Amino acid sequence: MVRRRPITNDDVLFTADLIKNPAVGSIYSANLSNVKVSVNEEGEIVFDLPAAYADFDSALNFPIVPKHVLDGTDPKTLIENSFSNAPVTSGAFLYNAKQETTTSDDEQVIYLSSNPNFYRGKTLLNSFAVHVYNDRESVIKAINAGAVTATAELSGSDSDDINSGSIIQKNSSLNSGAFIFFNTTNERIKDVALRTAIRQGIDLAKLREKAPETMALDYPLLQSQIQLTKYPEMPARDYEAAKAKIAEIAGDEPIHLEVATVNSGYLPQVASALEDELKSLGIAVNVSVYDENQEFITNIVSKRNYDILVYEVELGADPDLLPYYHSSQVSSAGLNLSNYRNTLVDDLLLSARDTLDEELRVKKYEKFLEYWVTGVPAIGLYQPNLTYYYNKNVRTFSNDVRLVTAIDRFSDVTDWAVVQTTKNKTP
């Protein structure tokens, strides 16, 4: 059977080429940008980097796809390929089947079975099922009814709707950040004076109140990533001065801004609070809340079709900000959501990524933050948590597991288990 074929070097090379192909639009493309991947005479995979990259090993955490299945497939149609619905897997679990229900919830169930050949050993669970729903209400209904044993798709604000006494809530911090991203190339918001005035005038405390059980985040770097010796001072809030400056900039032409966000976590509530703050400063605002799907990525994010984007991004284990603020990432496939360009910042981010000298790296990022504060490509909001609801009879990820992203909760999935008891016994 196809699924029993081992992963080969050809699979790795094939996957790397796909990731680097712009037609694919891979989220991993920045990790392998200008990286040459080959196999040497000893059969070892060699990554030839254009420059030193202190934490390149973290960039290698990407899934491998089988060349023998996808070779010859048009990269533009990979998502539509049948492989996406029935993938060949080599992880802890093997794909078995997908079932689509005809209920009002439009539920999909993906059935997995333990992989006996997994390199870390067989899992304690013999099978695993992933249930997919279209909306939050369906997830709440499923966890309350016991249709699913755990979910990470709800937030802390949903706790009042969890009425099952067997469900436990656990919160774990993530290496992610929620930000207000300014599209610095849009005519309406390209003036740094306007962006500075908006930051000076809005009440960040009111915005952060809409995201309870999260930690305030002023900068795009986390202390868990790097220990800086100093941070640039954030300007104090001055509502009246900001309102006057905005009126001066506007003149006889009222300022109108398009704000985009997604229906995920606390983002809609935060965007609504931002709308109130901007309106109080004399700025007309239209807020659009989108479903977080491929259409949103293609039509809104990739095209930078917004003046302001209220959005969460993954910051990673390593403090590498090149994907978000380097000018090379100002493209439809890049993650520079602010379209921010600064040659001095480019040099700082490249040299910070390249150096193995931790002290020098700290200085580079401290200098970058100075430019970030004065240039105002974004405003920090909060560091989100993973809110995890699970049945008390299930052993899920350990509290010792450090969650960089929500997916990391599966890092010890081989140790997950279910408590089994005999409830009634008949002769």
Q: Is 73 helix (H, G, I), strand (E, B) or coil?
A: coil
Q: Which domains are delineated in the chain?
A: 1-86 (3.90.76.10), 91-171+414-427 (no CATH), 176-383 (3.10.105.10)
Residue 155's nearest CA partner among 268, 61, 288 is 268
State residue 108 phi and psi, 5-degree precision: -120, 140
427 residues of the chain, pLDDT tens digit each: 444 688 899 999 999 999 998 888 787 887 788 899 999 999 999 999 887 777 788 788 888 999 988 998 888 888 788 888 788 778 889 888 888 876 656 788 999 999 988 888 888 889 989 999 888 889 999 999 999 999 998 888 788 899 888 999 988 888 999 999 999 999 989 999 999 999 999 999 999 999 988 999 999 999 889 999 999 999 999 999 999 999 999 998 999 999 999 998 899 999 999 999 999 999 999 999 998 888 898 899 999 999 999 999 999 888 889 989 999 999 887 899 999 999 999 999 999 988 888 999 999 999 999 999 999 999 999 999 888 999 988 878 877 777 888 888 888 888 887 655 554 555 5
Distance CA 319, CA 222 (A): 8
pLDDT of residue 283: 97
pLDDT of residue 33: 80
What does the angle CA 379 – CA 380 – CA 386 come to, to the nearest 5 degrees? 145
Does residue 362 contact residue 228 with C-beta atoms inside 8 Å? yes
pLDDT of residue 289: 96
Distance CA 313, CA 50 (A): 26
Q: Per DSSP, which regions of 147-283 are E strands?
A: 150-151, 167-173, 176-182, 215-216, 256-262
Using CA atoms in the order 282, 288, 292, 293, what is the torsion angle rounded to 10 degrees?
A: -130
pLDDT of residue 2: 46
CA distances from 226 to 96, 223, 347 (A): 42, 5, 19
How much is the pTM?
Answer: 0.78
Does residue 123 contact residue 416 with C-beta atoms inside 8 Å? yes
Distance CA 321, CA 127 (A): 39
pLDDT of residue 1: 42
